[in-house]
Amino acid sequence: DSGVTQTPKHLITATGQRVTLRCSPRSGDLSVYWYQQSLDQGLQFLIQYYNGEERAKGNILERFSAQQFPDLHSELNLSSLELGDSALYFCASSRTGSYGYTFGSGTRLTVV
């Protein structure tokens, strides 16, 4: 157990729907990062939050949004889902003064 918890582990939904992925960072970590992993695109950085505020944005679609709450957990919202959104979504966390991330085990999203 890495200490980063992601729920749900698996999600199957239909095109056009909206889903929410949840991430609880490791205790003491203020930064949360979201990544999308797919066969054709590899690991793509989506967005970073630090202590509740957006810190950096990557290749995140407008249909996707995220937030980090006061208790530091984060949610990634995916809407108007398309078949191409099927992927593994990873959350990672880090703490100030350390290097590198700790990853969660991911949420596998399948859009049918």
Partner 1 sequence: AQSVTQLGSHVSVSEGALVLLRCNYSSSVPPYLFWYVQYPNQGLQLLLKYTTGATLVKGINGFEAEFKKSETSFHLTKPSAHMSDAAEYFCAVSGSSNTGKLIFGQGTTLQVKP
Q: How far is CA 60 from CA 6, 68, 98, 105, in A?
A: 19, 16, 25, 20
Tokens of 103: 């990853």
Tokens of 95: 């703490």
Residues that bind partner 1 (CB under 8 A): 2, 4, 30-31, 33, 35, 42-43, 45, 48, 50, 55-56, 58, 90, 92, 94-106
CB of 23 to partner 1, least distance (A): 11
SS3 (DSSP) at 62: coil
Q: Which residue, 64 or 101, has its beta carbon nearer to partner 1?
A: 101
CB of 75 to partner 1, least distance (A): 18
Identify whether the C-beta of residue 109 lies closer than 8 Å to the C-beta of residue 85: yes
CB of 89 to partner 1, least distance (A): 11
Q: Which residue, 24 or 31, has its beta carbon nearer to partner 1?
A: 31
